[in-house]
């Protein structure tokens, strides 16, 4: 049923644990199967310096979390954002069709941790105590909320990190397509 690589990552998962002072935390769950994954990241110079996870779920969910953490560690944020469920399943030598949702959860939890980090970083840059140079540089420009890439107006896909975007009609800032509320102003997204 499971490949040797899945069994290896299930029996000997890598990077299990928490990071108390994590720069970003991403949590996802599947109410149907009960799997819950939380990823913790530390970022240094735009790279994932450390990554840990806690997963409550089946063997496939644990193996996926372990593999995602191994694949992402040391990568730039934009490289880590490109890790998809298909890539994770391929690295594990495949997953049974009824377990493919686990690979979605792993990639989603990682992406949410990165998004959390970028949101915190964005708030720091926008705060009055932040250095005026970085805020002044951002005035009048739109940035991808996930990789900080300068975006032309009215794009629907960040060309750097490949995240699908939607603009908030209230504040004009970009958000990930499919989010319910704007991460910048809290307004509902259509």
DSSP H helices, 41-148, are 59-72, 77-81, 85-91, 100-126, 132-138
Long-range (24+ apart) CB contacts under 8 A made by 163-166 are 163/81, 166/190
The per-residue b/e assignment along 25-34, b for 16 or more CB within 10 angstroms, e otherwise, is: bbebbbeebe
Active site residue 161: no
| Phi-psi group of 93: left, alpha or beta (phi > 0 → left; psi -120 to 50 → alpha; rest → beta) | left
Active site residue 102: yes
Which of 58, 102, 171, 185 is flagged as catalytic?
Answer: 102
Provide the annotated active-site residues: 33, 102
């Amino acid at each position: 049923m499971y490949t040797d690589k899945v069994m290896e990552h299930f029996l000997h998962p890598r990077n299990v644990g928490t990071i108390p002072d994590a720069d970003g935390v991403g949590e996802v769950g599947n109410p149907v199967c009960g799997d819950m994954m939380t990823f913790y990241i530390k970022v240094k110079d735009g790279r994932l310096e450390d990554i840990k996870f806690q997963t409550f779920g089946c063997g496939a969910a644990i193996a996926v979390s372990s593999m995602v953490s191994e694949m992402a560690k040391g990568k730039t944020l934009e490289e880590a954002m490109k890790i998809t469920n298909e890539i994770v399943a391929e690295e594990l030598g495949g997953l049974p069709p009824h377990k493919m949702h686990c690979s979605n959860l792993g990639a989603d939890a990682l992406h949410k941790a990165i998004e959390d980090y970028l949101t915190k970083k964005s708030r720091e840059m926008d705060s009055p105590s932040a250095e005026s140079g970085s805020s002044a540089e951002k005035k009048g420009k739109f940035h991808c909320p996930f990789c900080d890439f300068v975006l032309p107006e009215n794009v629907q896909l960040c060309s750097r990190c490949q995240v699908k975007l939607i603009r908030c009609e209230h504040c004009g800032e970009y958000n990930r397509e499919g989010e319910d509320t704007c991460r910048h102003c809290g307004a509902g997204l259509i």
